[in-house]
Chains A and B, each alone.
Chain A
Amino acid sequence: ETGVTQTPRHLVMGMTNKKSLKCEQHLGHNAMYWYKQSAKKPLELMFVYNFKEQTENNSVPSRFSPECPNSSHLFLHLHTLQPEDSALYLCASSQREADTGELFFGEGSRLTVL
């Protein structure tokens, strides 16, 4: 198993749909992150979970709803999205939050909102 796995890799949805992105890490890490990556823009931190507790919500609209049932799994629930939400959504993990260690990223879920 690779370190951080994200599914689906590609998702197309209408503005009224409800879908979920899934992330799973097999590294024994305690912190997990959702990032949004748009073309030619810096990575935007959306949510952070440390030991399953949400420690960061970076002013993300409520149409994005995270869920962390355990230290290995992270979900991003999507509903009534807007076309400007189309982007690559990256999941990452690290030993713990606020760490000087490296982040391990998944390959991302490419989301297109029609």
Chain B
Amino acid sequence: GQNIDQPTEMTATEGAIVQINCTYQTSGFNGLFWYQQHAGEAPTFLSYNVLDGLEEKGRFSSFLSRSKGYSYLLLKELQMKDSASYLCAVLDSNYQLIWGAGTKLIIKP
């Protein structure tokens, strides 16, 4: 079966750095997405990786290793507004999105 694993919950301190990991086993691979979802709000797109390596976008970076079936989302200079759930999703060989259950990130002052 297809599977996406990510931690259920993480806690970090304002101003610090946090890395949210995502591992996947899917039927084929056509890219990996990260979405952010604040409580009671719509998920919003953060990043898309299809090639190995690190993609940086401001305070957020996303890394992909296809050979390891692994990605991480790196958040720097954490702010209280970064408290949210972070959803990892993989586009499989049929272009179906396979979703992880999400990681709830709690930022403490």
Contacts and interface: CB of A to CB of B under 8 A. Distances in A.
B101 A40 contact: yes
Contacts of A43: 87, 89, 97, 99
A103 B48 CA distance: 11
Interface in B1-58: 4, 8, 30-31, 33, 35, 40-45, 48, 50
Given A90-B42, A106-B42, 10 more contacts: A40-B101, A42-B4, A42-B98, A43-B97, A45-B97, A100-B50, A102-B48, A103-B35, A104-B45, A105-B43
Given A41-B101, A42-B100, A42-B101, A4 B31 contact: no
A108 B42 contact: yes
Looking at chain A's contact residues, the main secondary structure is loop
A63 to B, nearest CB: 23
Nearest to A41: B101
Contacts, number: 46
A85 interface: no
Interface in B52-109: 87, 89, 91, 94-102
Interface string A5-17: 0000000000000
Contacts of B87: 43
Given A40-B101, A42-B4, A42-B100, A105 B44 contact: yes
Contacts of B91: 100
A107 B40 CA distance: 7
A104 B45 CA distance: 8
B56 to A, nearest CB: 18
Contacts of B35: 103
A99 interface: yes
A10 B89 CA distance: 26
Interface string A87-99: 0001000000111
A43 B100 CA distance: 8
Nearest to A40: B101
